[in-house]
Amino acid sequence: MGEAWPATPFAIGLSPLGERPWLIASDRLPDYLAEKHRLHAERPDRVFVAEPGTRAAQEETLQRVANWQTAHSPDRFSREEGSIRIEGMETPVELEGSDAPLLTAAWLCAEDLVLMRRGEDGWRLAAASLSFPSSWRLAEKFRRPITAIHKPVPGFSHGTRKALLVERIFDNLKPEAPVLRGNWSIYGDDKLFHPEPHAGDGADSAQPAASFLREERQTLTLLPGSGDILFTILITVTPLSELEKSADGRARASILAEQLDAMRDDELAYKAMTGRRDTFVKLLGKIATGTN
The reply to whether 116 falls in a domain is yes
Q: Which of 156, 123, 149, 151 is nearest to 10 (CA)?
A: 156
Per residue in 36-87, pLDDT tens?
A: 999 999 999 999 999 999 999 999 999 999 999 999 999 999 999 899 999 9
Residue 15 CB: number of other CB atoms within 10 A?
A: 13
Confidence of residue 6 (pLDDT cuts 50, 70, 90): confident
Q: How far is CA 215 from the centre of its chain?
A: 8
Residue 279 covered by a domain: no
Q: Which helix (H) or strand (E) holds 84?
A: strand 83-86
Which residues, other chains included, contact 94 with Cβ-Cβ below 8 Å and sequence gap of 6+?
82, 83, 104
Contact 151, 158 (CB under 8 A): yes
Query: C-alpha distances in angstroms, 72 versus 4, 23, 29, 49, 134?
Result: 21, 9, 14, 28, 28
Closest CA to 220 of 177, 284, 257: 177
Q: What is the mean pLDDT of residues 216-223?
A: 97
In the sheet that holds 112-119, the strands lie side by side as: 15-16, 179-187, 212-222, 229-239, 112-119, 122-129, 48-50
Higher local confidence (pLDDT), 57 or 12: 57
Q: Taking residues 116-134, what's their average pLDDT? A: 96
243-265 pLDDT, tens digit each? 999 999 999 999 999 999 999 99
At residue 201, the pLDDT reads 41
Q: Does the pLDDT of residue 33 top 60, yes or no?
A: yes
Which helix (H) or strand (E) is 16 found in, with range? strand 15-16
Q: Does residue 221 lie within any of the structural domains?
A: yes
DSSP state of 18: T
Residue 273 lies in a domain: no
In a domain, 226, yes or no: yes
pLDDT over 60 at 205, yes or no? no
Q: Which of 112, 115, 113 is nearest to 54 (CA)?
A: 115
What single letter denotes the amino acid at residue 34? Answer: A
pLDDT at 103 (0 to 100): 98
Give residue 1's pLDDT: 54
Q: Is residue 195 part of a domain?
A: no
For residue 81, the tally of other CB atoms under 10 A from its CB is 6
Count structural domains, the chain: 1
Question: Residue 127: which pLDDT band, with cuts at 50, 70 and 90?
Answer: very high
Average pLDDT over residues 2-11: 76
Residue 287 host element (H or E): helix 277-289
Q: What is the pLDDT of residue 203?
A: 46
Sheet of strand 83-86, all strands in order from the earlier edge strand to the far edge: 77-80, 83-86, 93-94
- Do 85 and 30 contact (CB within 8 A), yes or no? no
Distance, CA of 126 to CA of 7 (rounded, Å): 30
Q: Is residue 162 domain-resident?
A: yes
The whole-number pLDDT of residue 200 equals 39
pLDDT band for position 4 (50/70/90)? Answer: confident
Q: How far apart are CA 170 and CA 220, in angstroms?
A: 9
Mean pLDDT over 214-218 rounds to: 95
Q: Using a pLDDT cut of 70, give the percent of the chain over it.
A: 95
Is residue 247 included in any domain, yes or no?
Answer: no
Q: Residue 3 — very low, low, confident or very high, per pLDDT cuts 50/70/90?
A: low
Q: Note down the domain range covering 41.
A: 15-185+216-239
